[in-house]
Amino acid sequence: MSTIDGLPPLRAVIAAHGLSAKKALGQNFLLDLNLTAKIARSAGDLTGADVLEIGPGPGGLTRGLLAEGARHVLAVEKDARCMAPLAEIAAAWPGRLEVVNADALEIDPLARLTPPIKVVANLPYNVGTELLVRWLTPPDWPPFWQSLTLMFQREVAERITAQPGGKAYGRLAILAQWRCEARIVMRLPPEAFTPPPKVASAVVQLTALPAPRFPADPGVLERVVAAAFNQRRKMLRASLKGLAPDIEDRLRMAGIAPTDRAEQLSIEAFCALARVLAS
């Protein structure tokens, strides 16, 4: 059977290298190269960009990224069994793919990448959320990356892109949307993966804005948002009382009713409150 890049189909790669999926590594593989090319396309124009891919596994998405023209792909994979199949892909695309056998939570791959940098990953969800929060809270803004294209459990994708007023709206939505354009670009049923996970998935595309939408100190904003949503059912005058003894006055100064609840507040209102609390 021929493929987009002349390499063997992924089922044959998995069989040849004995890559039985390991649950502990969250291995749910994408085997349809048309689908992985589509995910790669959802990251925008890759020509002229370096791509950081986390968790390439047998390389389905990696092959999509290379076929879509990525200038250079740096792929970080924890499972040593995947090194041989990934080396075959590197040989088919000379000089374009570099593979690192490491835990993405432990290494800093930045020195190996040249801007503009796009991050693309289909990762286990716990690792994905931890990395997302790190990528969204760098020491300086704009961050090292231009965009993040990440597969999540659908429920997490909905939390990242949620608007005020619903249950899904919380810390992740504010962290993501304060300084990024965030949207769901693709929804995938469990059967898209081998083996299928229990829940549906979605790809989220986050594009870094040159500056935050509204001014605020990131540390203060993070503390306000964490306190407000830790007790999301309470009125803000109660959930935030640990932040300032005169919290009711401060809320009013920021134009917020002390009886409002966290999920009613826009990002703009949270930023206004962070500014009042920092003054």
What are the binding residues?
Answer: 28, 30, 55, 77, 103, 122
Least Å from the CB of residue 27 to ligand SAM: 5
Least Å from the CB of residue 143 to ligand SAM: 19
Decide whether 33 or 274 has the Cβ nearer to ligand SAM. 33
Binding residues for ligand SAM, per CB under 6 A? 25-30, 54-57, 60-61, 76-79, 82, 103-105, 122-124, 127
Give the three-class secondary structure for 53. Answer: strand
Decide whether 196 or 219 has the Cβ nearer to ligand SAM. 196
Q: How far apart are CA 108 and CA 192, in angstroms?
A: 31
Q: Which of 208, 220, 144 is nearest to 178 (CA)?
A: 208
Least Å from the CB of residue 197 to ligand SAM: 8
Which DSSP category does 261 fall into?
Answer: B
Question: Which residues define the annotated binding site for S-adenosyl-L-methionine?
Answer: 28, 30, 55, 77, 103, 122
Q: How far is CA 219 from the centre of its chain?
A: 20
Decide whether 90 or 173 has the Cβ nearer to ligand SAM. 90
Alpha helices in the chain (DSSP H): 10-16, 33-42, 60-67, 83-92, 125-136, 154-160, 171-179, 218-230, 236-239, 247-253, 267-278
Decide whether 85 or 170 has the Cβ nearer to ligand SAM. 85
Decide whether 122 or 146 has the Cβ nearer to ligand SAM. 122
Question: 194 — phi, psi (to 5°)?
Answer: -125, 120
Note whether 270 and 251 are within 8 A (CB): no
Name the residue with the smallest CB distance to ligand SAM.
Answer: 55
Note whether 186 and 157 are within 8 A (CB): no
Q: Which of 238, 235, 241, 223 is nearest to 262 (CA)?
A: 235
The answer for residues whose C-beta is within 8 angstroms of residue 76's C-beta and 6 or more apart is 52, 53, 54, 55, 56, 100, 102, 104, 107, 109
Decide whether 61 or 272 has the Cβ nearer to ligand SAM. 61
Least Å from the CB of residue 29 to ligand SAM: 4
Least Å from the CB of residue 204 to ligand SAM: 15
Least Å from the CB of residue 279 to ligand SAM: 41
